[in-house]
Amino acid sequence: MVDLVIGAKACRPNPALLPLEFLIGNWATIGTHPAAPGVELPGRTSFAWTENGAFLIMHSETDHKDFPDGMAIFASDNALGVITMCWFDERGISRLCGVRASERAVQWHHDDPNFMQRLTITADPNGQRMTSKGKMAQNGGDWGDDLSQVFIRQ
């Protein structure tokens, strides 16, 4: 029996996702969250190309029971010129987030008026460390802090 790869010609680098290349790798994380004041949230995050670069996949976990493990797929729409992240976590929550990328920085946002989120990740010039800053707003209220992390390349 011969293994047949369906759609193999599409398993190639997606040029629209190349600005996210700085994320690729395994990262140890230390986070903070306003719901756990004074508590450090250690964890891990990985970013990897999948399907030979057609998509980017993220896996993340935190060693605190109140913060969910999750994963996301980054994809693009070349006609609209947009990147989208589709998030799913262990609670069964899924979200579509708009993504903007620039040199050594990425931002994503979830725009549900009941629970809005923004996150910006910025890499240092040598690519060995990144920092993220999260913000959230609920029910049309003011923006406040959300999960923020430091990423150390492993």
Looking only at the bridges linking them, the beta strands covering 25-32 and 144-145 are unpaired
Give the percent of the chain with pLDDT over 90: 94
Region 54-78: mean pLDDT is 96
Residue-wise pLDDT tens digits, 129-142: 999 999 999 999 99
pLDDT at 2 over 80: no
Tokens of 12: 């190639």
The span from the CA of 105 to the CA of 145, in Å, is: 19
Region 112-124: mean pLDDT is 96
The span from the CA of 87 to the CA of 97, in Å, is: 8
Please provide residue 121's backbone torsions phi and psi, each rounded to the nearest 5 degrees.
-115, 130
Confidence label for 3 from pLDDT (cuts 50, 70 and 90):
low
SS3 of residue 54 by DSSP: coil
Tokens of 90: 């262990």
pLDDT at 1 over 70: no
